[in-house]
A and B are shown apart, each in its own frame.
Chain A
C-alpha cells in the first residue's frame, strides 16, 4: 500500500547516504509522484509551510540544515515525498523572501540559505554585526595568501588588531571559540588538521558557506580601497575572483530596483 523503502528501487539518480539519514533511501521519481498523489493539496501546503518556517528558524543562527533533521522534525511520515516538498519550499523561499536554498554538501545533504539579492546601496547604515568584521579580516587573509593559511598566521594577525587569543575580548569574548567553533559550524571557515605535526597544528580555509555567500570580487574591491591600490594589481586573486563571478548565475536585480 504505502511506499515501503525496502521495496524501493534505486535508480542511477538515487544517492547513497547511509551515514546521516541512514534509514532514508531516496525513492524514485515515480514513487515520489505516487506518494504525492496520496496527499491532499491541503496536506502538501501545510507541510511546505512547515518546512519553510523550519528552514527560516534554523537560519537564525546560520547553522546549516540537514536533510535528516528535516525528515525527522518536519516531514515525519511524509518522508518519501521529501524532494517534492523541498522543491516547493525552495520555490516559496525564492519568490516570497528572495532567499536561495543551496546544497553545500551533496553527499550528506546539507542546506543553507543565502540571499538571492545583492546587498543594496545604503544598507551600510543599518546593521554592522562586529563578528562580520572579524570574519572579513580572516577571510581576506586566507584568500590573499593563496587559500590556505596556518592558524598561527591568523592568530598573529589578529593580535596586531588587539584581538588576543589569551585574553577575553570585550566584543568577541572567547575569540578562539568564535573562530574555530562558531564560524566553522556556520561553514564560513574550515579548520583542518595538518598531518604529522607535533604539537598538532591546523590550517584555515574558506568554508562551504563562504564559497557561495561571499563575493571575492567585492572583497578585492574593498581591499583595494583600504590599500589605495587598484585591485587588478593582485592579478592572481583578481583572475580567480573574475572566474567566480562568471561561474555564478547572472546576478538578479537588487532590492532597490524592485
Chain B
C-alpha cells in the first residue's frame, strides 16, 4: 500500500525555476520534504549501493568547488552553474536524510562561493577572497596537507585539513613585520632590575616583628622583677619625699621651706639631682606647690587638702629647673647647707 503523497504531479522533482547567471537556484521546499518522507520499496541491497554512489558523487562535486574555488571566482565562465546543474540531477534521486544532508552541504559551499562572486560585482580590480587568502597563507606557514579519503570527513566545507608546524606563526610574523614601522621594545640590557614596584613592605615588617617577639618572650621573665622594682622605687622615693615635706611643714607650718635647702644634698651632687627629679613629681601631681617668697627665692610646701580644689582651678605654670655642679657648689656655700633635708634611700638598687 502506497502512502498518499501530497503532490499530485507524481514525480517528486523540485520545480526547476531556471538558473540565473549567478548560478543560484530556488527550490520548492515542500516538494523536497515530501520526497524525503516517502519510503522506497525497492530492493534493499540495490538501494544502498545506489545511495553510496549518490553520496560519492555529491562529495566529488563538493570537492570540485573547493579545489577550483579560485578559478570559479575569477573567471567569467559558468563552471559553478554546471556544478549546480549536476547537483540538481543528483537531487532527483535523493530519498533519505543522509544524502540530503550532503546536498545541503553542497548548497552551503556553493552559496558561499556565490556570495563572493556577488561581492566582486561592486569592486573594481581583482577580487580578494578570504578563503583563498587563508589557503595561500597556510601554505606559506608550512602547512602539511594530509591525504584523506572523502568518506572519513563529512564536516566542514572550507576548513583545511592538515597540521601546522609549531613555528608557523613565527614564520608568518617574520615576513609580515617588514610591513610595520614599529619600534623595538625598550628593555634594560642587564635585566637585573625589573621595571616593577618594589615588593610590598609588610614582608619586611613581618620579618622584623618575629625575632623581637621571641626576644620579648625571654625578657619579661627576667626583667619583670627588676622593672617593677624600678618603677616602685621611683614611686616610693616620691612618696618618701612627700613624707619629708609634710613632716617639715608640720614642724613649722608658718615658715616656708626653701626649695634649695630642701633638695640639695651637700654630700652628693647626683643625689641632689635625684631629689629635684622626685620633687618635680610632687608638683606635677599637685601634691606640692612652689612659690617665690619675699626675697624672690623659691619655696616649696605641701598642698593642703583644702587647697586641692583651688589647685585644680588655678592656672598651672611650668618651669624647668636645671642645676650644674658649679651651681650646686655655690648654692651649698651661699645657703650654708650642712645636711640634706632628704635622707638618701637606704637600699642601693642602682
Please give me the residue from chain A that is nearest to B131 by CB atom. Answer: A160
Of B133, B164, B171, B187, chain A has the most CB atoms within 10 Å of the CB of B133
Q: Considering the complex, which residues of chain A in the window 138-167 have a beta carbon less than 8 Å from any beta carbon of chain B?
A: 140-141, 144-146, 153, 156-157, 159-162
Q: Restricting to B95-139, which residues have a CB under 8 Å from any CB of A?
A: 123-126, 128, 130-134, 136-138
Please judge, given known A-B contacts A60-B185, A114-B182, A219-B179, whether A145 and B174 are in contact too, CB under 8 Å. no
A173 an interface residue at 8 Å Cβ cutoff? no
A59 touches B173 (CB 8 A): no
B9 within 8 Å of A by Cβ? Answer: no
Q: Inside 8 A of B158's CB, which chain A residues have their CB?
A: 160
Contact A136 B171 (CB under 8 A): no
Task: Tell me whether A213 and B126 are in contact in the complex, defined as CB-CB below 8 angstroms, given that A57-B186, A157-B134, A227-B136 are known contacts.
Answer: no
Which single member of B125, B126, B134, B173 contacts A160 (CB below 8 Å)?
B134
Among B123, B183, B187, residue most surrounded by chain A Cβ atoms (within 10 Å): B183
Report the minimum CB–CB distance from A116 to chain B (whole Å).
8
**A128 and B173 contacting across the interface, CB-CB below 8 Å:** yes
CB < 8 Å neighbour of B182 from A115, A125, A146, A237: A115
* Residue A247 lies at the interface, judged by CB distance under 8 Å to chain B: no
CB distance from A79 to the nearest CB of B (A): 24
- Pick the contact of A119 from B126, B136, B181 — CB < 8 Å? B181
Q: Which A residues touch B172, using CB under 8 A?
A: 130, 133, 136-137
Nearest residue (CB) in B for A229 is: B126
A124 at the interface (CB under 8 A from B): yes
Q: Given the complex of chains A and B, what is the CA–CA distance between A234 and B126 in angstroms?
A: 5
CA distance A233 to B137 in the complex (A): 19
Give the Cβ gap from A173 to chain B, nearest Cβ, in Å. Answer: 13
B195 at the interface (CB under 8 A from A): yes
- Asked if B185 contacts A215 (CB within 8 A), the reply is no
| Chain A nearest Cβ from B59, distance in angstroms | 20
Contacts of A171 in B (CB 8 A): 169
Q: How large is the interface on A (under 10, 10 to 19, 20 to 34, 35 or more residues)?
A: 35 or more
Known: A162-B164, A226-B137. A113 touches B173 (CB 8 A): no
Tell me, in angstroms, the Cα distance from A114 to B136 when the chains sit together.
Answer: 30
Residues of A within 8 A of B1 (CB): none
Contact, CB under 8 Å: B126 / A233: yes
- Answer whether residue B176 sits at the interface, using C-beta atoms and an 8 A cutoff: yes
Whether A218 and B130, one on each chain, are in contact in the complex, defined by CB atoms closer than 8 angstroms, is: no
Residues of B within 8 A of A223 (CB): 133
Q: Would A160 and B185 be within 8 Å (CB), given that A133-B169, A134-B169 are in contact? A: no
For residue A62, CB closer than 8 A to chain B, the reply is yes
In the bound assembly, the distance between CA atoms of A226 and B164 in angstroms comes to 17
B186 and A213 within 8 A (CB): no
Contacts of B169 in A (CB 8 A): 130, 133-134, 171
**A108 CA / B187 CA spacing, docked (Å):** 28
CA A216 to CA B133, docked complex, whole Å: 16
When A114-B182, A161-B138, A222-B179 are in contact, do A235 and B125 touch as well, CB less than 8 Å?
yes
Is A238 engaged at the interface, CB distance under 8 Å to the other chain?
Answer: yes
Contacts A57-B186, A141-B133, A233-B125 given; does A218 touch B173 at CB 8 Å: no
**Inter-subunit contact A161/B128 (CB<8 Å):** no
Partner of A227, one of B124, B132, B180: B132
A60 CA / B188 CA spacing, docked (Å): 11
Q: A113's contact among B126, B178, B183, B195, by CB below 8 Å, is which?
A: B183
* Contact (A213, B177) CB under 8 Å given A145-B128, A153-B130, A226-B140: no
- Our pick among B124, B177, B179, B183 for the contact of A127 (Cβ within 8 Å) is B177
Chain B residue with Cβ nearest A215? B179
Cβ contacts under 8 Å, B176 to chain A: 132-133, 135-136, 222
B170 contacts the other chain (Cβ, under 8 Å)? yes
Using A124-B175, A218-B178 as known contacts, list a sample of 13 further A-B pairs with CB atoms less than 8 Å apart, ordered by residue number in A. Answer: A59-B186, A128-B167, A133-B169, A133-B173, A135-B176, A136-B173, A136-B179, A137-B172, A140-B133, A141-B133, A215-B180, A227-B136, A236-B124
A residues adjacent to B (C-beta < 8 A): 56-57, 59-62, 97, 99, 113-119, 123-125, 127-137, 140-141, 144-146, 153, 156-157, 159-162, 171, 212-215, 218-219, 222-223, 226-227, 229, 233-238
- Identify 24 residue pairs between A and B in the complex whose beta-carbon atoms are under 8 Å apart, listed by A's number: A60-B185, A61-B185, A97-B183, A99-B183, A113-B183, A119-B177, A128-B174, A129-B173, A132-B173, A132-B176, A133-B171, A136-B176, A141-B130, A144-B133, A153-B130, A160-B158, A162-B160, A171-B169, A215-B179, A222-B178, A223-B133, A226-B140, A235-B125, A238-B125
Minimum-distance CB pairs A-B, first 8: A235-B125, A130-B169, A133-B172, A136-B176, A133-B173, A144-B128, A218-B179, A128-B174
